[in-house]
């Protein structure tokens, strides 16, 4: 919670900034290669490992967030934060089972929970594809394999896992499952469960109850802290504007303390 990895505007870029969250100043820049051997290595996405020791920086040939952007991922860097060393591995977009590339520009790599592997979602089925630090595909860790959906979140005590939106009859709720058998154990207020605050509460997106109909601005939502029993809902932010292309639209980033 002391340092953030940041990129400048005009993605992809050739350096990664380490931003001091107390002073709001970039204390150090880590340079990467613009291109070697005809492969563009500019960075369009970056994430800290859970242990805070390394970064994975995904490289692209074009801005991955541009409207209508096509897949242009070229690979990834694993960055030693202390040494400032960035090692590149070529890994273009993975094809699905039919041999087609996935749609959309952004295809960032993410860290496993123990900071030892990288992963990305399967292109056309549920689950994750795992890689070692050299880009070699490896089997999914046992605990990860049991979680199912790519966005599933394991509770701190490792007994529960977040599920999917389960609203019906106008309710705005999502499910929480038993991590061992996949059975539903709770329904909590919210469209999307984003992070565990502790074993008994989660942070979620929840739309304005009066405007949750898809035709009336379902994206006008805010962050809330919800209890596992569904009895407590505490707003953590104001509502976001219901426009996906609004220049002031923001996205939260969560980190362990």
| DSSP 8-state symbol, 211 | G
pLDDT at 163 exceeding the cut of 80 = yes
Q: Buried (b) or exposed (e) across 4-35, using 16+ Cβ within 10 A? A: bbebeeebbbeebbbbeeeeeeeeeebebbee
- Give me the pLDDT at residue 127, please: 74
Confidence of residue 124 (pLDDT cuts 50, 70, 90): low
Judge contact between 92 and 73, C-beta under 8 A: yes
Arithmetic mean of pLDDT, 187-198? 93
- Give me the pLDDT at residue 22, please: 94
- Give me the pLDDT at residue 148, please: 57
pLDDT at 217 exceeding the cut of 70 = no
Provide the percentage of residues in the chain whose pLDDT is more than 90.
Answer: 55
Question: For tokens 């070229």, what's the residue?
Answer: 74
Q: What is the pLDDT of residues 55-113, one digit of tens each?
A: 999 999 999 988 888 899 999 999 999 999 999 999 998 877 666 666 778 999 999 88
Q: Provide the Cα torsion 144, 150, 156, 159; round to 10°.
A: -60
Distances (CA, A) of 192 to 50, 95, 172: 22, 28, 9
Entry pTM? 0.76
Helices (H), 128-179: 142-147
What three-state secondary structure class fits 253?
Answer: coil
């Amino acid at each position: 919670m002391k340092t953030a990895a940041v990129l400048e505007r005009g993605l992809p870029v050739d350096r990664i900034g380490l931003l001091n969250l107390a002073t709001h100043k970039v204390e150090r820049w880590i340079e990467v290669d613009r291109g070697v051997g005809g492969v563009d290595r500019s960075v369009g996405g970056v994430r800290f490992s859970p242990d805070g020791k390394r970064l994975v920086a995904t490289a692209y040939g074009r801005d991955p967030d541009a409207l209508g952007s096509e897949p242009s991922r070229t690979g990834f860097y694993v960055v030693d934060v202390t040494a400032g060393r960035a090692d590149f591995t070529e890994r273009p977009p993975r094809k699905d089972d039919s041999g087609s590339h996935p749609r959309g520009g952004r295809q960032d790599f993410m860290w496993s929970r123990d900071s030892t592997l990288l992963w990305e979602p399967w292109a056309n089925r549920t689950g994750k594809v795992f890689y070692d630090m050299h880009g070699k595909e490896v089997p999914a860790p046992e605990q990860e394999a049991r979680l199912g959906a790519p966005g599933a979140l394991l509770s701190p005590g490792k007994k529960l896992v977040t599920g999917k939106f389960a609203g019906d009859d106008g309710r705005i709720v999502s499910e929480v499952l038993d991590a061992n058998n996949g059975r539903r154990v709770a329904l909590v207020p919210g469209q999307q469960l984003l992070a565990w605050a502790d074993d008994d509460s989660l942070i979620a997106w929840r739309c304005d109850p009066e405007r949750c109909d898809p035709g009336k601005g379902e994206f006008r939502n805010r962050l809330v802290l919800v209890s596992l029993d569904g009895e407590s809902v505490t707003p953590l932010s104001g509502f976001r504007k219901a426009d996906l292309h609004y220049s002031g639209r923001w996205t939260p980033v969560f980190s362990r303390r």
